[in-house]
Structure 1
């Protein structure tokens, strides 16, 4: 409330001339080290008069008031300071103000909540496992705050990451590509590439949860292996939950929009006791929404409580829980006629049926402790438990039906049905010491620690598939063989006889859905990674030193990992595979000026192969994936730190990628050849030019190609741009809040999102989809009106109703984007 009050004062400056009788108030604003702070807003509350400090931290104010007055000073990243001063007449008053870094900077781990109320976030805990200013970390770290999510009406991960350069949607699922490398980490993956409050976890993958419990989303570009072990070479996504505040805040939000969308969320926080040693926060969410896609819907319940205990200034303890229960259907994408005409079927087309369902339950429980052993040594430890349960029944298409002569019928999607029950659990633990000390002129911030992670798919998970063609003897054939046509059951379709499938095919030309009789399906077990019992664990030790001398900051890191994977877990033939990795990290930051930092970094990455690829049927075991990153860039601040801009160039190389060997006798056989190389340029701008104007802008050029794919330089795929990776992409978003009389409370938002052409397909199969995903630009807008404690908001997306596709695998799995849609929100804060 104090900051809101002060901002109102700042936007109503008194520009009238002062009389000769006015008193002069002058002074200087410093930090705790005695260094001058530029760009601090200083206000005389009683007169509603403000000014800003110069490069030496000096300020001047004139007033015709006398007696005991209130002086306030505000700078992002520092606590608001208020000071009572005596102003005699006509004497001159001089004062020094000392600003203290805010809790976000002081705390060693992120336990109490972020208090900034705009698109900027100066501090990251994910880049170095310490509270470091982002501009001082020699690696590109981009973020999206909850304020930006709210203004854009973004409630899913793929909506959020549109505000980060080099990150694009890959499918409908919780599935994106970063710098040309797909960032997965879903169910069945022992190599998770996602973080939750800085700890390793996995995601349900097949759908995206609501994100109303998040404070921000961070994208740590490049391999983060030196801190987190096996990681995507393109980058790692860190989801940071909302933490309790030491002031009372309550907000209720109701939403209604296109496709019968209804949502309700609540965010309640504050202190439990008068001493503010116990803080709480709870976020609730409910959703019931249909889709522009046939048969699709989402019903979700989110419960996310958080508790912080701060018994002293030396100890902080936090507990977080996020529970999500969902009821939906799995969307496998749009099917088209043939293999090239994306417009041959409507983007709403879905080959699922009314019997289908997807039910999921997920929980993530986190506890964190930070304790200062001395003024210079802090012990930190965190634990995360993730649990997931899925029950699924689906119809999906994998190819076209064929006639008696084996010729494809391109308007008839050949389907299969799957029953699946899956459970997966993971534990993530970290403990480390952070210490700061000096050796001569060098200032050190040393981190030494141990990490443990495990992932388990217990016995009891299963998947049964109904596929293939029906034979006259009651058995099922996996494929249709023309010369043996007499053995197959036949049925009539458009005047000709065709082999009868185990699961009814879907007529794309009719596009009708029904409640099928599934009792006659013949199933066979499918032992995929998702359901085969498995167990893997990781033990890691690491050391990292951040060294400062004058304008230079050097980051040195070294990590040793041991990966243990039980092949054939819970069977008599269990075999433990052990892999180890030594991962260095080197970075340098140079302070060119107070507002410009130049940086360069070299990091390495490591990923063990999945369990399924390690068996003899696949040709395994295989060597692990190894990668490295070279990156350099500039991190700059503008308008007295209100606006931040990052520009970077990079080169990433990943070796030992696995591809399908295309062996007709063994379709599971893999070969390990080639390498993936991604080179690019990125730019990100975020912040506010004035208190009324917030802005986010991004641009990325990505040249991500495959080398030596499929066995040789003459391969069809060699030197091809990686799938679903545009060479050019960018975004722009701006919000302006009016403060002039008559328009006060009114705000306008507008934005654009551009994605260039992409190659669809390339799943290591011969039936690559030749068609390119067309480039597209989406235009979005928003209107806000706030009066007292109530805000009404309307977001309008894809204003031009642009038909577009966000990604695709093949002609049976294309992922169209939503047409024109709208969302209204009503928020009440108290």
Structure 2
């Protein structure tokens, strides 16, 4: 069913927010504010410190609308270190903003940081670039500090914040790209009882039902839990050529349990499972002028094409306070990712115009990824030679396995207006030739934040990293250094240098259909120089940051496709990205809150005969984002946002340009308190001006931005 715009507009006064309870947990492993209890701020969680039974829990009544500004990012330096003591650009997107925007995908959250740009969304997954470099599914994402396989749409409902760590971070996390990392911080168990139910719908008939519950299991509060359940059904605006709209079904279940074994030892167990099935949409096709061929809503895939994903994560984390100065943390996680992808695999012909026929090459494919990660960190604070040291010594490990089964069907021709061909009678289960790929790597790292005096700090570190893989063994030794100057207690200027390392999947190009089959390739390396400044203003309620960066990546692989469907992969020398960022986050006044950012980027290939001077796909020169909230009353607030992307190239030859655009979003939140129950109502309008725009992707897989859409939500907190 559909809801008319008029009905939803009239319903604005009854609209909702899925804002969770505002529970603020001051923990040593996660010093960000969680927003999980609308009426209370809980100080002193036991997560990495003493057991809660020895700590007084204080509940403070405060503003319902808070939580824009975050002072710490645990993922940046693997410890509870202030952003003002971090010689690196880091953005933390808190749950308050995630919930106000009714975000259901990672892309809807990351739009709040202008340094991130979206790539193609084909095959029900999201791709992002950070500072112009694409984030890899295998090493571009973390969850609570664990390397996380991210080849699917992440379960946003389990997160309390997202940390965007910019620049090479291989010293602490191993293989990672030059743009940086995205660390997803999950919700943790609480001592106070929470039980939140939420429902949101849109004008297409999509719905999402959520449950977020937590609290103490035992009377002494030493055993606590946090649980999330999500059932989502999505109907998209784009349609298959037989008139059916694309649909998606998703289920999520997650549980985290904390147990204080004694005053010094905490153990955390976690488990989550995601089932996500959706019709395929590999994106729209562009002509040489950067315009969509045919209707913006047309899907070239057949309606029977789909992807079906099942992801499970389970593991344990522990922290032990050795003494007043030293602490040890341990983490272990196993992730299994199984996916069936039944493709119609439409191929865009050169010079294609609407009405022409095109070839589809269907296949049924099964992918099995298995990620096992672990780490151990020793952290200590001590004084030596008259200066203070915050020392981290640790190691991490990854075991990777991938298996694939694939069966191809017969190709067929199709053109608009024809009857859709039936789904081929093929199944991956008949493939008796399993393709596999395996590797493991480990790293040992050390980092020391040296406080010379109140004004000067120095950060130095290094890492040894080794990958073991048949035909692709690699090892590296990486340094990192930074200097911080604090002219006052609420300001920091810093300079830093860091390096990154990414082994290739093999030592040669091993695709026998590639025109450069057999060519030797080297590992990719990167280095970054960064200058930055951070200021806490307006009684420390507003954080301003700025950074200038210069990143060079060597050994980049680029695949170029020819008109006859042949392709050639080349190692195009260097890729250099220079630019600057400016951001503001927090309270401007007692009623006005903002999260704003802007980036200027100069991204080019260098030292290559074919690509020198070219700009990578989806690397705009200018990008900006703004999300704001203004409190009209204690219970009523309005939101307004603007998201700008400058011109971007849609192909490697830089001949096809996607136009710049600005998307305007608005929303409103109203809170009703009924005895012991809080009811939160929210109404959001995305793309208020119904702007036509193209998001990420190239000439044969571009994402077409949705037109104006409405979201209505209600959340009840018991």
Q: Which residue of 1 aligns with 2:232?
A: 287
CA distance in 1, matches of 2:537, 2:702: 42
Q: Which residue of 2 aligns with 1:753?
A: 643
CA distance in 1, matches of 2:302, 2:582: 44
- What secondary structure, in the 3-state scheme, does the structure 2 residue paired with 1:147 have? helix
Compared CA separation, residues 522 and 546, structure 1 to 2 (3 A): closer
Listed one character per residue, the Cα deviations across residues 94-128 of structure 1 (whole Å, up to 9, x for unaligned) are xxxxxx9955997599xx99x99512221221111
Q: Give the CA deviation at 1:615.
A: 3.6
Q: Is the 8 A contact 1:773 1:807 kept in 2?
A: no
Q: RCO greater where, 1 or 2, for CA within 8 Å and sep 6 or more?
A: 2
Q: Which residue of 2 aligns with 1:738?
A: 632
- What secondary structure, in the 3-state scheme, does the structure 2 residue paired with 1:702 have? strand
Compared CA separation, residues 693 and 5, structure 1 to 2 (3 A): farther
Q: Which residue of 1 aligns with 2:448?
A: 545
CA distance in 1, matches of 2:663, 2:325: 50
Q: Is the 8 A contact 1:339 1:769 kept in 2?
A: no
Compared CA separation, residues 168 and 669, structure 1 to 2 (3 A): closer
Q: Give the CA deviation at 1:581.
A: 0.3
Compared CA separation, residues 398 and 514, structure 1 to 2 (3 A): closer
Q: Give the CA deviation at 1:159.
A: 0.8
For structure 1, list consecutive stretches of 5 or more residues without a partner in the other structure: 7-74, 79-99, 186-190, 468-501, 567-575, 763-767
| 1:557 equivalent in alignment to 2:504 | no
- What secondary structure, in the 3-state scheme, does the structure 2 residue paired with 1:814 have? coil
Q: Give the CA deviation at 1:232.
A: 1.2
Q: Is the 8 A contact 1:400 1:409 kept in 2?
A: no
Q: Give the CA deviation at 1:312.
A: 3.1
- What secondary structure, in the 3-state scheme, does the structure 2 residue paired with 1:324 have? strand
Q: Which residue of 2 aligns with 1:175?
A: 127
Compared CA separation, residues 588 and 104, structure 1 to 2 (3 A): farther
| 1:726 equivalent in alignment to 2:628 | no
Q: Which residue of 2 aligns with 1:600?
A: 495
Q: Structure 2 residue aligned with 1:369, among 292, 312, 318?
A: 318
Q: Is the 8 A contact 2:50 2:264 kept in 1?
A: no
- What secondary structure, in the 3-state scheme, does the structure 2 residue paired with 1:292 have? strand
Equivalences, count: 659
Q: Structure 1 residue aligned with 2:289, among 340, 344, 353?
A: 340
Q: Give the CA deviation at 1:672.
A: 2.5
Q: Structure 1 residue aligned with 2:249, among 299, 317, 320?
A: 299
| 1:689 equivalent in alignment to 2:591 | no
**1:179-578 to 2 correspondence within 5 Å?**
179-185=131-137, 191-205=138-152, 208-294=153-239, 295-336=245-286, 338-340=287-289, 342-400=291-349, 411-458=356-403, 461-466=404-409, 502-507=411-416, 510=417, 514=420, 516-519=422-425, 532-550=435-453, 551-566=455-470, 576-578=471-473
Listed one character per residue, the Cα deviations across residues 285-311 of structure 1 (whole Å, up to 9, x for unaligned) are 110011011142111001011111123
- What secondary structure, in the 3-state scheme, does the structure 2 residue paired with 1:378 have? strand
Compared CA separation, residues 399 and 108, structure 1 to 2 (3 A): farther
**1:76-91 to 2 correspondence within 5 Å?**
none
- What secondary structure, in the 3-state scheme, does the structure 2 residue paired with 1:542 have? strand
Q: Which residue of 1 aligns with 2:704?
A: 816
Q: Is the 8 A contact 1:171 1:815 kept in 2?
A: yes
- What secondary structure, in the 3-state scheme, does the structure 2 residue paired with 1:123 have? coil
Q: Which residue of 2 aligns with 1:775?
A: 660
Q: Give the CA deviation at 1:616.
A: 8.6
Q: Give the CA deviation at 1:321.
A: 1.6
Q: Is the 8 A contact 1:455 1:537 kept in 2?
A: yes
For structure 2, list consecutive stretches of 5 or more residues without a partner in the other structure: 1-20, 25-30, 35-41, 60-64, 240-244
Compared CA separation, residues 565 and 666, structure 1 to 2 (3 A): farther
Q: Give the CA deviation at 1:620.
A: 4.3
Listed one character per residue, the Cα deviations across residues 446-466 of structure 1 (whole Å, up to 9, x for unaligned) are 1111211011014xx212334
TM-score normalised by the chain length of structure 2? 0.86
| 1:630 equivalent in alignment to 2:540 | no
Q: Structure 2 residue aligned with 1:149, among 98, 102, 121?
A: 98
Compared CA separation, residues 5 and 315, structure 1 to 2 (3 A): closer
- What secondary structure, in the 3-state scheme, does the structure 2 residue paired with 1:120 have? coil
Listed one character per residue, the Cα deviations across residues 315-352 of structure 1 (whole Å, up to 9, x for unaligned) are 1111122210011122100135x543514411111012
CA distance in 1, matches of 2:302, 2:188: 42
CA distance in 2, matches of 1:430, 1:517: 46
Between stretches 652-661 and 303-312, larger displacement belongs to 652-661
When the two chains are superposed, the root-mean-square deviation of aligned CA atoms in Å is 3.2
Q: Which residue of 1 aligns with 2:554?
A: 655
Between stretches 305-314 and 146-155, larger displacement belongs to 305-314
CA distance in 1, matches of 2:491, 2:390: 22
CA distance in 1, matches of 2:636, 2:698: 44
Q: Give the CA deviation at 1:676.
A: 0.3
Q: Give the CA deviation at 1:257.
A: 0.6
Compared CA separation, residues 520 and 629, structure 1 to 2 (3 A): closer
Q: Is the 8 A contact 2:231 2:251 kept in 1?
A: yes
Q: Which residue of 2 aligns with 1:60?
A: none
Q: Structure 2 residue aligned with 1:611, among 506, 509, 513?
A: 506
CA distance in 2, matches of 1:629, 1:350: 40
Compared CA separation, residues 376 and 414, structure 1 to 2 (3 A): same
CA distance in 1, matches of 2:101, 2:354: 44
Q: Is the 8 A contact 1:77 1:105 kept in 2?
A: no
Q: Which residue of 2 aligns with 1:47?
A: none
Compared CA separation, residues 557 and 517, structure 1 to 2 (3 A): closer
Q: Is the 8 A contact 1:401 1:412 kept in 2?
A: no
| 1:581 equivalent in alignment to 2:476 | yes
Q: Is the 8 A contact 1:423 1:457 kept in 2?
A: yes
Q: Give the CA deviation at 1:400.
A: 2.2
Compared CA separation, residues 779 and 564, structure 1 to 2 (3 A): same
TM-score normalised by the chain length of structure 1? 0.75
Q: Give the CA deviation at 1:658.
A: 2.1
Q: Give the CA deviation at 1:354.
A: 2.5
CA distance in 1, matches of 2:162, 2:73: 11
- What secondary structure, in the 3-state scheme, does the structure 2 residue paired with 1:808 have? coil
| 1:828 equivalent in alignment to 2:716 | yes
**1:6-85 to 2 correspondence within 5 Å?**
none
Compared CA separation, residues 269 and 136, structure 1 to 2 (3 A): same
Compared CA separation, residues 671 and 746, structure 1 to 2 (3 A): closer
Q: Give the CA deviation at 1:818.
A: 1.0
CA distance in 2, matches of 1:238, 1:214: 10
Q: Structure 1 residue aligned with 2:691, among 775, 791, 802?
A: 802
Compared CA separation, residues 703 and 525, structure 1 to 2 (3 A): farther
